[in-house]
Amino acid sequence: MAINDLIGDFSRSFLFALATLIPILNPPAAAPIFLMLTEGISNNARRQIARRVAVNILIMLAVAMIAGNLVLDLFGISLPIVRVGGGLLVIASAWRLVNASDLNVEHAQTMAESFTPDQIGIRAFYPLTFPMICGPGTLAAALTVGATLHDKTMTATLTKLAGSLPAIVVAAVAVYFCMKFAAQFMHKLGPSGSAVFMRLSAFILLCLGVQIVWDGARDLLLQLLIQAAALRT
């Protein structure tokens, strides 16, 4: 392949992966959710969690993009099932945030004590990384991007992969900076504005979970209708 073709494949893969992942990850929307789930902990611990979340997102998206379809085939799991199961997790987590009572000093202290060094890694993955930020919708998008990497030649495939991986890095870094500066952003809104913004973000997350479940259930229903039609013929 000519060098111009390789550069073109690299650039197109980078832009396609970035344009696919960023809107679903939605880094700005992760800021209020991150603050709500890390209420009461120190700024240093919050930065550690933000870094771990970014690393988790990077690893999860890379694995889903490169080997996600193979893993699903290995366990016999279809993508609609992943959407339904993951969407239910999103709904459950968002419902708790929507109905959470206003945090007071005593509750903040309890939250701070629960974020021990051993717990930071666990909480950084669940629920912050999955299903809050890098949920089933994002993983499905990564699987879609991974399906477009395969080409006629190994060189073209590797070039597209080399273009997609930096896009994952950019997306993870964007999420990290939005979480890192979330407190400064929410501080400008004030206590009442922050409370409203957090509730709205939790509600939007709830709606997103319902949408993910509906997409998966719709695909499963269509598969059943196709199978029923095939049996009648």
Domain boundaries, the chain: 3-232
- Per-residue exposure over 103-136, b if at least 16 CB sit within 10 Å of its own CB, e if not: eeeeeeeeeeeebeeeebeebbbebbbbbbbbbb
Alpha-carbon distance values, 40 to 44, 45, 103, 109, 118 (Å): 12, 10, 9, 6, 17
Q: What is the pLDDT of residues 189-228, one digit of tens each?
A: 676 776 676 677 678 767 877 877 888 899 899 988 998 8
**CA–CA separation, 203 and 176 (whole Å):** 22
Say if CB 9 and CB 163 are below 8 A apart. yes
Q: What is the pLDDT of residues 184-197, one digit of tens each?
A: 877 776 767 766 76
**CA–CA separation, 125 and 107 (whole Å):** 22
Say if CB 57 and CB 25 are below 8 A apart. yes
Say if CB 13 and CB 160 are below 8 A apart. yes
Q: Which of 41, 67, 42 is nearest to 142 (CA)?
A: 67
Q: What is the pLDDT of residues 6-54, one digit of tens each?
A: 888 899 889 988 888 887 788 887 888 888 778 777 788 888 899 999 9
Model pLDDT, residue 174: 93
Model pLDDT, residue 163: 92
For residue 111, pLDDT over 60 is answered with no
Model pLDDT, residue 227: 87
